[in-house]
Amino acid sequence: MLDAIALRVPEVADALAGQQGKVRVTAREYTGVGFYATLDVSHRSPINGVASPLGDVGATVVGLQHGMGFLLCLRDGHIHQLEGYSYDESTSDIDFERVAFGAVGPRA
């Protein structure tokens, strides 16, 4: 997902890729219509010159008719949180750690 988001902001794609290689999930919150994943990056070079959130990408998701949208939030120039949201569909039966995502790209 982070690769697709990076393609939407080519001016900082290299910086995002540098942080992405060092990202780890520190917390997850499931909302019933998506999720928030709080991320930690040990990389210390901040991403500058771009407004947060980044994204406007979507993906098909097994179990959802309309797929999901995704946004990446930065904090102090570092990857901080990935939000996944459905389009008015329940996600309470979806295991986001195992679900298949497909057709990732710009949100239609």
* DSSP-assigned states of every residue in 60-88: EETT-SS-EEEEEEEETTEEEEEEEEESS
Tokens describing residue 11: 């001016």
Task: Enter the tokens of residue 103.
Answer: 């057709």
d(CA 62, CA 41): 29
Q: What is the DSSP letter of 96?
A: T
Contact call for residues 104 and 91 (beta carbons, < 8 A) = no
Residue 43 in this model has a pLDDT that exceeds 70: no
Check residue 108 and give its pLDDT. Answer: 59
Q: Taking residues 2-19, report their average pLDDT.
A: 87
Determine the residue type at 1.
Answer: M
How many domains would you assign to the chain? 1
Residue 46: cis peptide before it, omega within 30 degrees of 0: no
Q: What is the pTM of this model?
A: 0.88
pLDDT digits (tens, 9 = 90+) for 58-87: 999 999 999 999 999 999 889 999 999 999
- Percentage of the chain beyond pLDDT 70 is 96
Q: What is the CA radius of gyration of the chain?
A: 14
pLDDT at 103: 73
User: 78 lies in which domain range?
Assistant: 2-106
